[in-house]
Chains A and B, each alone.
Chain A
Amino acid sequence: MNDRADFKKMLLPVLKTGAIAAAAVLVILLVGWATSPLVASRTIAEQTVQLKLLAADGEPGKSRIAFPLEMVKNEFDSVILSHCSDDGERNLVSACYAPDQNSRMSLLPGLSDARQADLSRILVKISFVSRGAVLKYFPVKKGTDLAGYILELSGSGFGGKLDLIASYQTDGTLNRALLVKHAERFPGGTGTDRLLDLFYGKKAAGMPVTTAMLENSGADAVSGATESLRGIGLALKAGSLYAARIGSDGR
Chain B
Amino acid sequence: MTTQAKNLVSENPVFIVLIGLCPALAITGRLIDALCVGAAVLIVMAGSQLTISVLRKFIPEKMRVPAVLLVVCALVTVIDLLLNAFLPSLSARLGIFLPLVAVNCLILSRAGSFAFQNNSGVSLLDALGKGAGFFLALALIALIREIIGSGTISFSPLAEGGAIVIPLLSTVPVAVVAAPAGAFLIIGLLMGLFNSLPAIKKRISGRLPPPSKADQGTQANDEGQGGQA
Contacts and interface: CB of A to CB of B under 8 A. Distances in A.
A48 to B, nearest CB: 16
Interface of B: 55, 58-60, 62-63, 66-67, 70-71, 73-74, 77-78, 81-82, 84-86, 88, 92, 95-96, 160, 178
Given A27-B78, A28-B74, A32-B81, 10 more contacts: A13-B60, A14-B63, A16-B60, A20-B67, A24-B71, A24-B74, A31-B81, A35-B82, A39-B84, A39-B88
Contacts of B77: 28, 31
Nearest to A26: B74
B129 to A, nearest CB: 26
Nearest to B83: A35
Contacts of B74: 24-25, 27-28
Contacts of A12: 60
Given A24-B73, A183-B95, A35 B85 contact: yes
Nearest to B88: A42
Interface in A1-43: 12-14, 16-17, 20-21, 24-25, 27-28, 31-32, 35, 38-39, 42
B81 A35 contact: yes
Nearest to A39: B85
Interface in A125-182: 181
- Listed residue (A14, A24, A39, A191) with the most chain B CB atoms within 10 angstroms of its CB: A24
B70 A20 contact: yes
B158 to A, nearest CB: 14
B60 A17 contact: yes
Interface residues of A, number: 22
Contact of A17 (B67, B84, B88, B178): B67
Nearest to B95: A183
A16 B81 contact: no
Contacts of B70: 17, 20-21, 24
A29 B58 CA distance: 23
B55 A20 contact: yes
Contact of A183 (B55, B63, B67, B96): B96
Contacts of A32: 81
A31 B76 CA distance: 12
Contact of A13 (B62, B81, B160): B62
A31 B78 contact: yes
Interface in A179-196: 181, 183, 188-189, 191
Contacts of B95: 183
Contacts of B73: 24
Contact of B78 (A16, A28, A42): A28
A38 B82 CA distance: 10
Contacts of B59: 16-17, 20
Contacts of A183: 95-96
Contacts of A38: 85-86
Interface in A35-68: 35, 38-39, 42
- Listed residue (A14, A20, A191) with the most chain B CB atoms within 10 angstroms of its CB: A20
A188 B152 CA distance: 12
B227 to A, nearest CB: 49
17 contacts: A12-B60, A16-B60, A17-B60, A20-B70, A21-B70, A24-B71, A24-B73, A27-B78, A28-B77, A28-B78, A32-B81, A35-B81, A35-B84, A38-B86, A39-B85, A39-B88, A42-B88
A139 B78 CA distance: 39
A39 B80 CA distance: 12
A42 B6 CA distance: 44
A226 B70 CA distance: 39
Contacts of B86: 38
Contacts of A189: 160
Given A24-B70, A28-B74, A32-B81, A16 B63 contact: yes
Contacts of B92: 181
Nearest to B92: A181
A156 B42 CA distance: 34
A38 B95 CA distance: 20
Nearest to B58: A16
- Listed residue (A13, A38, A39, A191) with the most chain B CB atoms within 10 angstroms of its CB: A13
